[in-house]
Structure formats: structure tokens, C-alpha cells
Amino acid sequence: MTRRALALLLVLALTAPDAGAVAYNDVLPGARAMGMGTAYSAIADDAFGLFYNPAGTANTPYIQGAGTVGRMLSPKGPLSFATAAYLRPYEQINTATIGAAYHLERQRNGGDIDSILLNYSQEYKVRQIPLSKPLKLGVNAKIVNSDPGTGAGGKLGLGFDAGVIARSNMGLSAGIVLSDLVTAAAYPRPGITLATAYTWDRRYTIAGDFRVRGGLAEFYPGVEASFHQGLLRVRGGKGLTLDGVHTFAFGLGLNFSPMILDIAMSLPTGGLNRSGGGYQGTFTYRFGAPSFTGQFVGQAAADAETLRGDLSSLTEKQRTMSQQAGTAETNKAAAEAQLRVLEKRVAEAQDEYRALLKRNDELEYRAAEKAAGLLGRPKPVEVKVRARPAPPAWPKRHVVKAGDTLRTMARQYYGDPNQWERIYDANREKVERGLPAEGASLLIPAPN
């Protein structure tokens, strides 16, 4: 699903029409998001994420309070904004989060906005969708007072946002957001956002948001790099085209947990002399979160645990290899015993052959004497050499039957039950608690 979303996002980015210009009601808070060029809807995991995707706050582990202030320039006039946000886990549902935020904007010669957001988000496992991680689902209920600056005054409206984020174990995530579905006539531009993000090695993130609002379609790419186990984060991306001025955004984040500080700036790409760009600073406090020094210690402990797991795996492999080596040694000993038996039989056959040759020579000598005229001598008696019975072949094989013990087998093969240890030494892996396993084939070594 995430791959399809990424492909769709790239196609839309390539086919999107030239952007016009975003207006005051397109400005969203959050220095981290601003530093990434607002390519944040597939991440949205901090207190200001509910403005980008209300699903991103699902399963937040800590209570969070955050605030931000910022200022942007444009040909119409400077725009100032401030936001306060609050998140907390919803104890009644394990993976749910609730939150609230207040956002205000003031633009000289432009418009003003005051909005209150109430957020609910939750992780939810959909069995019909084969995802390795649960979906994140979220919704904002919002109250908006918008004044477009035309002299008609502000208008109050009610509305909502909805979003979803799908994730995979490969670091891919994709999100869809329906935003600003508000009844106020002065807030007329609902929008849809398709977003994706890819995190590599838990340090580098590439993200992109494709936004369609009214007649405006624009693609926002962004990147983020994490250093020193998340203590420092560096960001960059395409900034908002506020009132027609194209900008480039960049930012920096410091995770002094439980405090997090983020700053971001944007500069006009057409030259610093243009009236454009802006800056923003964000402060976040996570109640109950471990300190950043504790995070370093915790990461070291996690690395040590991983090393212990690797050591345990290597120890198990060593044990397996030792058992295999023991089996090979047993097989080698059995083969050597068989070889010794065969060598003994060959030696005995050679002795018999030499005896036969000697007897044949004697017979030939007596036949020669008889041919020479020594007829008075008795006729030599032909001696037939009876073949000696072949010695028993060792080692032997014995299939264990019910009632067999090592001592009964020693009595059967050696005539001495006290030699059971020879059978045990050759078959240790097939003897349990002093008794051979029924049906097992045991090696019976040669007797002493």
C-alpha cells in the first residue's frame, strides 16, 4: 500500500500544474514541519502534527505541551502567528491520544484567523489490510473565526479534518488528509493531501506532500537527518509560496529531552532583497519522558542487549557444532574399528595363502621324486586345507527392542555384562537416563 501511495505521489508531483500562491489560511504552525518544507503529513508525530494530519498523534507515549511563534513576510505585508498545543494518552483506550490546540494568525493587509482544534487519534489494526504495523486514524473537530480582511468582518464556522497513516517495517509511510472542511464562508478552501515518507537507517528521512486546495496544486519535498542518537536534527525543504514568493526552508532541532527546541527559517529563492521568507521557534515539553542523557544510556543498554543476543546465538551455534564434531568422532572411531577388523582378516588370508603355497611346493617335490623312479615310496596323500571360518565382523549394529538394556547387550555380544560401558561410550547420544532409546540403531564396538 505504501509503495502504491509513493508511486501515486510521484506521478502527481510530475503532472501537477504550476502553483499559484498560498494565502494566509495555508500557513500551518510547527518549526520542525516548516524546516522540512511542510512535507510533514506522513509523519506528524509531534504536538503540531494534528495541523498536518490528525492521525499522526496516535499512540503518543507522553503528555506533551508545546508552543510556537513565527513571522513570515510577503508582498501583502508581514504575517505573524502563534500556537499552543497539548496532547495526552487516552487511558481508556491503549493506543488512543486526545489533544487540543489554539492557533492565531494576523497578516497586515491580509486576513486573520483564530482556530481551536480538538483532536482524537488511535492506532487500529485492520485485518483485511496486510500491514506490518497498525493504521493510524485521526480526526479534528475545529472552530474557526476567519476574517479575509475585506472589511466584511470575521465569520465563525465549524468543521473537521480527517486523516490516516499507513506504515511498514521498511521505513515507508503514507498518509491521506482531508482538511479544512469548514462551514465558514470566509474560509472557503477545503483541501486534500497525499503524503509519503521514507526513513532509512533510523537517521535519514525523505518526505513529500502533494496538496490540492481549491484550484491550487503544489508538491512540497523535504528531508531530515538525525545525529548523535537523535540529539541533533537538521532539516531542509521547499518552503511555502506565500503570496507568490517562492522560498527555501531549513531548520534545526535539539532534543534536550524532556525539552525539545526547534527553529526554522525560510528565504526567498529569488533573492534576499525580496519581501519573503520567515522564521519560527518551537518549544515542546514531554512530561515523564527520559532525559537525553538517559536516552544515551538506554541506547547503550539496548546495544549491549543486542550484543548479548548475538553472543548467545554464537554460543548455541558452537554447541551445535561441538555435537556434530562428537558425532563425527564416533563415526570415525567406528570406521577405524572396521578397518582394523578388515586388516586382520586380510593378514589371516595372506597367512593361509602362504601355507597353501608351501604345501603345494612339498607336493610338487614328492611328485618329482616319484617320476625319478622312487616307486617304492608311498603315494603322497593329498591334504585338503579346510578354510578357516571368517572372524566376526566388528563393529556390529543392534536395533534396540523392548526390554533391551546395555548390560543385556553386553552379555549378548561380549559374554560379559560388565562391558556395557563400551556400548554406552559409542552411543551416548542415543542413551537417555541409562536406557537406550527403543528402535534406535546402536553401534557395538569390537571386544577388548
In CATH, what number is assigned to the domain containing residue 410? 3.10.350.10
Write down the pTM of the prediction: 0.64
Q: The CATH number of the domain where 117 resides is what?
A: 2.40.160.60
Residues with Cβ within 8 Å of 56's Cβ and at least 6 positions away in sequence, in order, are 41, 43, 44, 45, 49, 50, 121, 136, 138, 163, 165, 175
Q: Is the dihedral of CA 409, 410, 412, 413 positive or negative?
A: positive
Assess contact for 341 and 391: CB atoms under 8 A: yes
The Cα 341–Cα 353 span in angstroms is 18
Q: Residue length, the chain?
A: 448
Nearest to 442 by CA among 30, 431, 434, 433: 431
Nearest to 245 by CA among 448, 57, 78: 78
Residues with Cβ within 8 Å of 25's Cβ and at least 6 positions away in sequence, in order, are 105, 111, 113, 146, 180, 187, 189
271: exposed, middle or buried (Cβ count in 10 Å: 0-12, 13-18, 19+): exposed
Q: Which residues of the chain have pLDDT under 70?
A: 1-21, 184-188, 294-301, 365, 369, 372-392
Q: 4: part of which helix (H) or strand (E)?
A: helix 2-15
The Cα 442–Cα 395 span in angstroms is 10
DSSP label of 419: G
- Claim to verify: residue 165 and residue 184 sit in the same structural domain: yes
Assess contact for 158 and 143: CB atoms under 8 A: yes
Assess contact for 222 and 37: CB atoms under 8 A: yes
Which residues is 34 bridged to in the sheet? none
Domain boundary among 255, 289, 323: 289
Assess contact for 121 and 96: CB atoms under 8 A: yes
pLDDT of residue 10: 47
Assess contact for 2 and 207: CB atoms under 8 A: no
Other CB atoms within 10 A of residue 420 CB: 18
The Cα 51–Cα 177 span in angstroms is 10
155: exposed, middle or buried (Cβ count in 10 Å: 0-12, 13-18, 19+): middle
Assess contact for 275 and 267: CB atoms under 8 A: no
- Which ranges constitute the DSSP H helices of 271-418? 292-371, 406-414
Assess contact for 123 and 136: CB atoms under 8 A: yes
Q: Is residue 35 helix, strand or coil?
A: helix
Domain boundary among 347, 372, 390: 390
Q: How far apart are the first and last CA of the chain?
A: 72
Nearest to 206 by CA among 218, 195, 222: 222
Assess contact for 163 and 178: CB atoms under 8 A: yes
- Claim to verify: residue 375 and residue 299 sit in the same structural domain: yes
* Residue 299 grid coordinates: 541506547
- Claim to verify: residue 378 and residue 266 sit in the same structural domain: no
Domain boundary among 368, 390, 412: 390
- Claim to verify: residue 129 and residue 242 sit in the same structural domain: yes
Nearest to 44 by CA among 192, 197, 190: 197
- Claim to verify: residue 171 and residue 273 sit in the same structural domain: yes
- Claim to verify: residue 207 and residue 326 sit in the same structural domain: no
pLDDT of residue 295: 61
Give me the number of domains the chain comprises: 3
- Claim to verify: residue 322 and residue 439 sit in the same structural domain: no
The Cα 339–Cα 62 span in angstroms is 74
Could you report the per-residue pLDDT of 226-267, keeping only the tens digit for each? 998 889 999 999 999 998 899 999 999 999 989 999 999 999
- Claim to verify: residue 353 and residue 399 sit in the same structural domain: no
pLDDT of residue 16: 46
* Residue 415 grid coordinates: 559374554
pLDDT of residue 377: 53
* Cell 586345507 found at: 385
- Claim to verify: residue 151 and residue 183 sit in the same structural domain: yes
The Cα 438–Cα 440 span in angstroms is 6
Assess contact for 263 and 281: CB atoms under 8 A: yes
Domain span at 351: 291-390
Assess contact for 154 and 143: CB atoms under 8 A: no
- Claim to verify: residue 282 and residue 300 sit in the same structural domain: no
- Claim to verify: residue 336 and residue 412 sit in the same structural domain: no
pLDDT of residue 99: 97
Percent composition of the chain: helix, strand, coil (DSSP 3-state, to 5): 30, 40, 35
- Claim to verify: residue 175 and residue 88 sit in the same structural domain: yes
Assess contact for 266 and 72: CB atoms under 8 A: yes
Q: What angle do CA 403, 407, 411 make, to 5 degrees?
A: 105
